[in-house]
């Protein structure tokens, strides 16, 4: 499974699955939470339960369903529907403790669901405990900036300075747990430049991908989290130079006018592995 792009659509519109595939999203999410209004949740849940995952033409797109939050009054019924659908993964938003992760895992196991578990970290408590949450058994996480800033009582700005610390903290927590993290949404889905800029920043912070709320954002996310031809050429050249230096018994490697050491070589090798 790849994690460069996670595209959301309302669970009340199962035809969105086709949009997930056409946009080439790595993960498509039928959303029972924010994208489905309260009066449509029961019908959407019934539709999810009837999904025949084996009968869908998904290509390389994984299909997830986002449940409503624990304590919402919908959570147990959402898990029943998701388990019946046998989709590739479930997303549980607004996780705040490692105990919640354990409880969700137990609830899914009791329903016979063995797909991936993605946790949403989108509150002050969730960010504060993100190390524990990421290490408690989730397969991947995402950082939700909009809910986080609302919970914080802050002001959302285009600069993203108000979420830089939280964003970085979640990325580090995921790295400690050895799981991928996906970055916040860009709500202005018509601003392609801003999306690409944020995606590049997210990659530099250690994120593996980005949340998308419009099919038009997917290509930019996939591009941002895929090494470019220039980057791959740089990595191949650097690794070759490092191997030549090692063969000659030289401990110092010079490449393209700069001195490189073990961390940079390791980064180049990782880039080639991912490519």
Instruction: Check whether residue 220 and residue 233 sit in a common domain.
Output: no
Distance, CA of 104 to CA of 100 (rounded, Å): 6
Q: What is the CATH number of the domain that holds 197?
A: 3.20.20.60
Instruction: Check whether residue 86 and residue 119 sit in a common domain.
Output: yes
β-strands 253-255, 258-260 pairing: antiparallel
Q: Give yes or no for a contact between 51 and 27, defined as CB atoms under 8 angstroms apart.
A: no
Percentage, residues of the chain above pLDDT 90: 80
Distance, CA of 71 to CA of 172 (rounded, Å): 28
pLDDT digits (tens, 9 = 90+) for 96-116: 999 999 999 999 999 999 999
User: Is the pTM of the predicted complex or chain greater than 0.75?
Assistant: yes
pLDDT digits (tens, 9 = 90+) for 247-258: 887 767 888 888
Instruction: Check whether residue 203 and residue 238 sit in a common domain.
Output: no
Instruction: Check whether residue 158 and residue 97 sit in a common domain.
Output: yes
Instruction: Check whether residue 248 and residue 215 sit in a common domain.
Output: no
Instruction: Check whether residue 118 and residue 61 sit in a common domain.
Output: yes
Instruction: Check whether residue 70 and residue 155 sit in a common domain.
Output: yes
pLDDT digits (tens, 9 = 90+) for 16-53: 999 999 999 999 999 999 999 999 999 999 999 999 98
Q: What is the CB neighbour count within 10 angstroms for residue 24?
A: 16
Residues β-bridged to residue 69? none
Question: Residue range 221-237: average pLDDT?
Answer: 89
Instruction: Check whether residue 129 and residue 165 sit in a common domain.
Output: yes
Range of the domain at 129: 5-224
Question: In the chain, how many domains are there?
Answer: 2
pLDDT, residue 245, reads: 81
> Given a cut of 90, is residue 146 above it in pLDDT?
yes
Mean pLDDT of the chain: 94
4-13, 150-159, 243-252, 259-268: the lowest-pLDDT one: 243-252
Instruction: Check whether residue 47 and residue 160 sit in a common domain.
Output: yes
Instruction: Check whether residue 51 and residue 166 sit in a common domain.
Output: yes
Closest CA to 86 of 110, 63, 70, 120: 63
Instruction: Check whether residue 155 and residue 80 sit in a common domain.
Output: yes
pLDDT digits (tens, 9 = 90+) for 175-222: 999 999 999 999 999 999 999 999 999 999 999 999 999 999 999 999
Query: Considering 224, 239, 254, which residue would you say is the last residue of a domain?
Result: 224
Instruction: Check whether residue 169 and residue 245 sit in a common domain.
Output: no
């Amino acid at each position: 499974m790849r994690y460069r792009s996670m595209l959301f659509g309302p669970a009340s519109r199962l035809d969105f699955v086709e949009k997930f595939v056409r946009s080439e999203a790595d993960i498509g999410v039928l959303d029972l939470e924010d994208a489905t209004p309260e009066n449509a949740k029961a019908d959407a849940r019934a539709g999810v339960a009837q999904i025949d995952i084996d009968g869908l033409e998904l290509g390389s797109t994984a299909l997830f369903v986002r449940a409503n939050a624990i304590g919402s009054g919908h959570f147990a019924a959402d898990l029943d529907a998701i388990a019946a659908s046998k989709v590739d993964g479930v997303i549980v938003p607004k996780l705040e403790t490692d105990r919640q992760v354990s409880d969700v895992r137990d609830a899914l196991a009791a329903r016979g669901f063995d797909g991936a578990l993605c946790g949403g970290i989108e509150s002050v408590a969730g960010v504060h405990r993100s190390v524990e949450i990421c290490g408690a058994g989730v397969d991947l996480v995402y950082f939700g900036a909009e809910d986080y800033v609302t919970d914080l009582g802050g002001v959302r700005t285009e600069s993203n300075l108000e979420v830089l610390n939280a964003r970085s903290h979640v990325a580090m927590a995921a790295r400690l747990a050895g799981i991928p993290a996906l970055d916040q949404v860009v709500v202005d889905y018509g601003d392609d430049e801003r999306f690409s800029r944020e995606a590049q920043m997210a990659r530099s912070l250690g994120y593996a991908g980005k949340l998308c709320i419009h099919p038009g954002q997917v290509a930019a996310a996939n591009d941002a989290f895929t090494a470019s031809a220039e980057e791959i050429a740089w990595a191949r050249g650097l690794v070759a130079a490092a191997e030549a230096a090692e063969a000659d018994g030289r401990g110092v490697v010079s490449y393209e006018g700069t001195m490189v050491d073990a961390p940079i070589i390791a980064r180049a090798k990782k880039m080639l592995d991912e490519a």
